[in-house]
Amino acid sequence: KDMTENTQGLVNIGKLILAFAKVNRVTFHEDGITPESDTDHTVMVSVCAGALAQKLYPDLDLGLVAQFAIVHDLVETYCGDVDSFGITEEDRVSKEEKEHKAFLRIQLEFKDQFPWIPEMIEKYESLNTREARFVKTVDKCMTKITHILNGGTYFKNRGLSKDEMWSDYQTMVRDAEVKYGKEFPEIIALIDELIVEARIKTYGV
């Protein structure tokens, strides 16, 4: 007999997440060879965001933080991960358009069966809660963690100089600070510290 709606919906979620797991990011595992997957990244963001929220910002809703962290990159299932290092404004607009189309596809697939999925993505993307802005700020710590653990493989592979790496990251952090991170100076300070450590691990200085 045919599966019930909820059973079929769970199978559809399973299919979505397995596809999500096949999306590789531009960052690497500690071996400097294995690409970091979107699911690796999502679990890292989720655990870090929960731990940091409880320790530094106990006023935040931990449940909401965890929910936003879990769905924060889910649209990449259908549009992939874009390397944002040194990204042009034109490429940024294109990235946002592709992500919006991917969101609409997820919305179409799940709005009737399990609306929590598109609803949480939409709430996260709107950045109109402190919890969403917090997760987006914490997300900026993640690539630096992988760079530290693998000795800057990404920068070495791209042949980037220390100055190029430093300049782009400073721009990115200040941009994040202005757009959504200014409520969380402790997280911005963590990002700055991680960048310094990533530079040392990559270039020795």
Q: pLDDT, tens digit, for every residue of 107-161?
A: 999 999 999 999 999 999 999 999 999 999 999 999 999 999 999 999 999 999 9
> What are 37's strand-pairing partners?
24
Which helix H or strand E contains 27, and what residues bound it? strand 24-28
- pLDDT computed for residue 12 by the predictor: 96
- If you search the block for the tokens 């060879």, which residue do you land on? 33
pTM for this model (two decimals): 0.94
- pLDDT computed for residue 2 by the predictor: 83
Torsion region of 159: left, alpha or beta (phi above 0 gives left; psi -120 to 50 gives alpha): left
